[in-house]
C-alpha cells in the first residue's frame, strides 16, 4: 500500500507539477488528489494519445516533465505520439507515465484486462520505456530514480500500479446529484420496447453490465447484445460497421467519456447516413465506471453537434415523464438518430460482468427464428 501523499512528495521533489490523463479505477485515489488542482495543472483528457500530446506541448513550453496517467488499455491510444514524437530517436522528449496495470499477472481480472495485462511490460520494453512497479512505499525510491533517468536522458519513463495499491487519506463527500433519470431506469424501459430483431452494441463499463443484468432479470428476448468490455470509445464505430452491411435496426448505447474519446466516429455516422442506426448517449458528465471523475461533456450542445455532423434526428430525455412515448418515437425514427439521455450518477449494486465472450459474440451474430 502507498499513500497518495507520499507519491506526490516524490513527484514534487522532481518538479513534476503538471498532470494529464484519462481516469482509471486503479488510479482513482490519485484522481482524488488531482481534483483539487486548477486547469493549468491538471487536465482530464478525452483519450490517452491526446494526454500524451498535451504533455509534450507542456514540456516544449516549460522544459518540465509532465505526468501522464492512464489505464494500460489506453497505452495503445498513446503509442502514436509516444513512438512518433517523444521517442528518443525522434524528438527525445522526457515524459513520466503513471499506468494503472489492469490484468497484472499477479492479480485476478477480467478477460479483456488479462489480455492487455500480460503484454504491458513487453510493450514498454519494445517502446524502450524504462519502468518500475509500485507496490510498497519502498518502491518510491525506484520511482525517484527513474524520473531522474528521464531528466538526464531526455527519455520516457513509466511506473506500473497494481489494483489496491494507492490509498488516499481523506474522505471525500460527493456532490448531490441532479434530479435526472438513472441509467438503469432508462435501459430497463428501452429494453422492453426494443424491436425483436434488432441489435444493441453497448459501451465499456457500467452500461454493458447493467444492460446484461437487466436483460437477464426481466427475461427479455427482444434484440441481441454485444457488450464492448474493452475498446472504450469504439462502440459507435463498431455499430456503424455493422449497420453498413445489415438491414437490421442497430442501437449503440454510449457514454459521454466514451463518445469524447473518439468523437470523429460521430462524423462517420453522419456521413454514412444509415437509416438503421440509432445512437444513444447516456450523459452523466462523468467517468462513473472508474470512480466518477468528470468528463468535459458539460456544456456541449449535442443537438447542434450531431445535426451539423449529419445525423437526421436528435431526441432528448432527462426524466421519467413520458419516457415510453419518447423512447418509442426515437425507436421509430429513421436514422441516423441521436438520443441524449441526461442521467444521474448511480448504478445497480452487485452487477455481474460479461464472462463467456465467445458465447456472447455467437449469440449476437446468430439469426432470429
49 lies in the site for ligand TPP, by CB under 6 A: no
Whether 127 contacts 79, CB under 8 Å: yes
Q: Exactly one of 31, 208, 286, 337 binds ligand TPP (CB under 6 A); which one? A: 286
Which lies closer to ligand TPP via its Cβ, residue 120 or residue 276?
120
Of the candidates 282, 263, 201, the residue with the CA atom closest to the CA atom of residue 238: 201
Whether 338 contacts 311, CB under 8 Å: yes
> Quick one: 63 exposed, middle or buried, by C-beta within 10 A (0-12, 13-18, 19+)?
exposed
Name the residue number minimizing CB distance to ligand TPP: 255
Residue span 291-320 as binding mask against ligand TPP, x where in contact by CB under 6 A, dash where not: ----x-------------------------
46 lies in the site for ligand TPP, by CB under 6 A: no
CB of 17 vs ligand TPP, minimal distance in Å:
24
Report the alpha-carbon distance of residue 258 to residue 362 in Å, rounded: 25
258 lies in the site for ligand TPP, by CB under 6 A: yes
Helix/strand/coil for 253: strand
Which lies closer to ligand TPP via its Cβ, residue 102 or residue 274?
102
The per-residue DSSP string of 7-21 comes to HHHHHHHTT---EEE
Could you tell me the three cell numbers for 21? 490523463
21 lies in the site for ligand TPP, by CB under 6 A: no
81 lies in the site for ligand TPP, by CB under 6 A: no
203 lies in the site for ligand TPP, by CB under 6 A: yes
Q: Exactly one of 16, 19, 24, 278 binds ligand TPP (CB under 6 A); which one? A: 24
Which lies closer to ligand TPP via its Cβ, residue 23 or residue 66?
23
Residue span 146-185 as binding mask against ligand TPP, x where in contact by CB under 6 A, dash where not: ----------------------------------------
Could you tell me the three cell numbers for 309? 455532423
Question: CB neighbours of 232 closer than 8 A, spacing ≥ 6?
Answer: 73, 74, 203, 204, 205, 257, 258, 261
Q: How many CA atoms lie within 13 A of 204 on its CB side?
A: 21
Number of CB atoms found within 10 A of residue 77's CB = 23
Q: Exactly one of 26, 78, 290, 309 binds ligand TPP (CB under 6 A); which one? A: 290
Report the alpha-carbon distance of residue 202 to residue 211 in Å, rounded: 8
CB of 145 vs ligand TPP, minimal distance in Å:
28
Report the alpha-carbon distance of residue 187 to residue 271 in Å, rounded: 27
20 lies in the site for ligand TPP, by CB under 6 A: no
Which lies closer to ligand TPP via its Cβ, residue 206 or residue 276?
206
Whether 243 contacts 277, CB under 8 Å: yes
Q: Exactly one of 204, 235, 237, 278 binds ligand TPP (CB under 6 A); which one? A: 204
Options 2-10, 266-274, 281-289, 358-366: segment touching ligand TPP (CB under 6 A): 281-289
Report the alpha-carbon distance of residue 119 to residue 109 in Å, rounded: 14
Q: Which residues pair with 293 in a beta bridge?
A: 287
31 lies in the site for ligand TPP, by CB under 6 A: no
Which lies closer to ligand TPP via its Cβ, residue 53 or residue 284?
284
Q: Exactly one of 21, 81, 103, 205 binds ligand TPP (CB under 6 A); which one? A: 205
Report the alpha-carbon distance of residue 89 to residue 80 in Å, rounded: 14
CB of 22 vs ligand TPP, minimal distance in Å:
5
Which lies closer to ligand TPP via its Cβ, residue 14 or residue 289?
289
Which lies closer to ligand TPP via its Cβ, residue 87 or residue 347?
347
Report the alpha-carbon distance of residue 221 to residue 127 in Å, rounded: 46
Report the alpha-carbon distance of residue 345 to residue 292 in Å, rounded: 8
Contact residues toward ligand TPP (CB under 6 A) are 22-24, 71, 73-74, 77, 203-207, 232, 255-258, 284, 286-290, 295
Amino acid at each position: 500500500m502507498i499513500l497518495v501523499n507520499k507519491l506526490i512528495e516524490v513527484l514534487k521533489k522532481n518538479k513534476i507539477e503538471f498532470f494529464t490523463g484519462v481516469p482509471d479505477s486503479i488510479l482513482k485515489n490519485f484522481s482524488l488528489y488531482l481534483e483539487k488542482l486548477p486547469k493549468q495543472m491538471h487536465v482530464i483528457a478525452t483519450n490517452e494519445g491526446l494526454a500524451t500530446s498535451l504533455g509534450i506541448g507542456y514540456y516544449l513550453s516549460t522544459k518540465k516533465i509532465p505526468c501522464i496517467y492512464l489505464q494500460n488499455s489506453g497505452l495503445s491510444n498513446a503509442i502514436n505520439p509516444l513512438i512518433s514524437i517523444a521517442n528518443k530517436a525522434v524528438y527525445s522528449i522526457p515524459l513520466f507515465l503513471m499506468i494503472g496495470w489492469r490484468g497484472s499477472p499477479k492479480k485476478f481480472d477480467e478477460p479483456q484486462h488479462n489480455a492487455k495485462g500480460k503484454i504491458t511490460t513487453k510493450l514498454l520494453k519494445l517502446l524502450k520505456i524504462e519502468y518500475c512497479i509500485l507496490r510498497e512505499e519502498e518502491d518510491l525510491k525506484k520511482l525517484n530514480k527513474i524520473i531522474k533517468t528521464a531528466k538526464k536522458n531526455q527519455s520516457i519513463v513509466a511506473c506500473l500500479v497494481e489494483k489496491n495499491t494507492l490509498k488516499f487519506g481523506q474522505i471525500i463527500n460527493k456532490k448531490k446529484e441532479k434530479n435526472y433519470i438513472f441509467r438503469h431506469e432508462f435501459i430497463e424501459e428501452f429494453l422492453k420496447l426494443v424491436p425483436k430483431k434488432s441489435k444493441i452494441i453497448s459501451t465499456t463499463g457500467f452500461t454493458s453490465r447493467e444492460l446484461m443484468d437487466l436483460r437477464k432479470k426481466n427475461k427479455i428476448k427482444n434484440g441481441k447484445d454485444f457488450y464492448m468490455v474493452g475498446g472504450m470509445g469504439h462502440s459507435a464505430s463498431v455499430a456503424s460497421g455493422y449497420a453498413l452491411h445489415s438491414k437490421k435496426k442497430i442501437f449503440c448505447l454510449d457514454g459521454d467519456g466514451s463518445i469524447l474519446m473518439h468523437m470523429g466516429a460521430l462524423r462517420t455516422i453522419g456521413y454514412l447516413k444509415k437509416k438503421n442506426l440509432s445512437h444513444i448517449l447516456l450523459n452523466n458528465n462523468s467517468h462513473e465506471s472508474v470512480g466518477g471523475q468528470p468528463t468535459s461533456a458539460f456544456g456541449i450542445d449535442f443537438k447542434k453537434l450531431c445535426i451539423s455532423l449529419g445525423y437526421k434526428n436528435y431526441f432528448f430525455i432527462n426524466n421519467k415523464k413520458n419516457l415510453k412515448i419518447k423512447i418509442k418515437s426515437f425507436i421509430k425514427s429513421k436514422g441516423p438518430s441521436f438520443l441524449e439521455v441526461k442521467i444521474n450518477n448511480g448504478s445497480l449494486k452487485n452487477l455481474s460482468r460479461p464472462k463467456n465472450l465467445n458465447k456472447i459474440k455467437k449469440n449476437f451474430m446468430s439469426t432470429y427464428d
